[in-house]
Structure 1
Amino acid sequence: MYRDQSSSAGARRVGITAVGSYLPERVLASEELQRGVAESSGLPLPPRMLERATGILTRRVAADGEYASTLAAAAARTALDRAGLTPADIDLLLFASASRDMVEPATAHIVQAELGSRAHALDVTNACNSFVNGIDTAHAMILAGRARRALVVTGETPSRAVRHRPADLGQFRDGFAGYTFGDAGAAVVLEPVPAGGILDVDTETRSEHWPVGGIFGGGSRHPREEEHTYFHGDGNELRDVFEKVGTSVLDRVRHRTGLGWDDYRHVLVHQVTLPYLERFREITGVPEDRLVVTVPETGNIASATLGVQLDRVHDGLRPGDRVLFVGLGGGVSITTMVWEKA
Structure 2
Amino acid sequence: MSVIRSAVTGVGAYLPDNIVTNDQLAETVDTSDAWIVERTGIRQRHKVADDQPVSDLAFRAAQQALERAGKTAADVDLIIVATTTPDMTFPATATIVQRKLGAPVGIAFDVQAVCSGFVYALSVADGFVARGHAKCALVIGAEAMTRLMDWTDRGTCVLFGDGAGAVVLEPREGQGTTADQGVLGFALRADGTKQELLYVDGGPSTTGTVGKLRMLGNQVFKHAVINISEAIHAAAKAADVTIPEVDWFIPHQANQRILAGVAHRVDIDEDKVISTVALHANTSAASIPLAFAQGIADGRIKPGQLLLLEAMGGGLTWGACVLRL
Quote how far apart the aligned CAs of 1:46 are: 6.1
The answer to whether structure 1 residue 305 and structure 2 residue 287 are counterparts is: yes
Quote how far apart the aligned CAs of 1:240 are: 1.8
The answer to whether structure 1 residue 28 and structure 2 residue 10 are counterparts is: no
The equivalent of 1:65 in structure 2 is: 51
The equivalent of 2:3 in structure 1 is: 11
Q: 1:189 to 1:125 in 2, by over 3 A?
A: same
The equivalent of 1:245 in structure 2 is: 227
The equivalent of 2:147 in structure 1 is: 160
SS in 1 for 2:222: helix
1:34, 1:50 within 8 Å by CA — same for their partners in 2?
A: no
90, 110, 115: which is aligned to 1:104? 90
1:261, 1:287 within 8 Å by CA — same for their partners in 2?
A: no
What are the within-5 Å matches in structure 2 for residues 47-126 of structure 1?
Answer: 48-118=34-104, 119-126=106-113
Q: 1:143 to 1:254 in 2, by over 3 A?
A: closer
Residues in 2 aligned to 1:189 and 1:124: alpha-carbon distance in whole angstroms? 16
Which digits, 9 at most, give the CA deviation of each residue in 1:283-317, with x for residues without a partner? 22210111011101111111111101111223644
- Alignment-mate amino acid for residue 39 of structure 2: A
The answer to whether structure 1 residue 207 and structure 2 residue 207 are counterparts is: no
218, 234, 249: which is aligned to 2:203? 218
The alignment covers a number of residue pairs equal to: 316
2:187, 2:320 within 8 Å by CA — same for their partners in 1?
A: yes
167, 174, 179: which is aligned to 1:188? 167
The equivalent of 1:268 in structure 2 is: 250
The equivalent of 2:296 in structure 1 is: 314
Percent identity of paired positions between Structure 1 and Structure 2: 28
Q: 1:77 to 1:340 in 2, by over 3 A?
A: same
Q: 1:258 to 1:37 in 2, by over 3 A?
A: same
Residues in 1 aligned to 2:225 and 2:70: alpha-carbon distance in whole angstroms? 41
1:129, 1:303 within 8 Å by CA — same for their partners in 2?
A: yes
SS in 1 for 2:250: strand
1:210, 1:332 within 8 Å by CA — same for their partners in 2?
A: yes
Gaps of 5+ in 1: 1-8, 39-44, 167-171
Quote how far apart the aligned CAs of 1:67 are: 1.5
Residues in 2 aligned to 1:141 and 1:184: alpha-carbon distance in whole angstroms? 26
Residues in 2 aligned to 1:92 and 1:211: alpha-carbon distance in whole angstroms? 34
Residues in 2 aligned to 1:285 and 1:90: alpha-carbon distance in whole angstroms? 39
- Alignment-mate amino acid for residue 20 of structure 1: G
Q: State TM-score, norm by structure 1.
A: 0.87
Q: State TM-score, norm by structure 2.
A: 0.91
Residues in 2 aligned to 1:139 and 1:71: alpha-carbon distance in whole angstroms? 23
Residues in 2 aligned to 1:74 and 1:46: alpha-carbon distance in whole angstroms? 33
2:113, 2:313 within 8 Å by CA — same for their partners in 1?
A: yes
Residues in 2 aligned to 1:54 and 1:244: alpha-carbon distance in whole angstroms? 18
- Alignment-mate amino acid for residue 216 of structure 1: D
The equivalent of 2:29 in structure 1 is: 37
Gaps of 5+ in 2: 175-180
The equivalent of 1:332 in structure 2 is: 316
1:162, 1:179 within 8 Å by CA — same for their partners in 2?
A: no
Which digits, 9 at most, give the CA deviation of each residue in 1:161-196, with x for residues without a partner? 1222x3xxxxx36xx223210111111111111342
Quote how far apart the aligned CAs of 1:209 are: 0.6
Residues in 1 aligned to 2:240 and 2:141: alpha-carbon distance in whole angstroms? 31
Residues in 2 aligned to 1:90 and 1:295: alpha-carbon distance in whole angstroms? 31
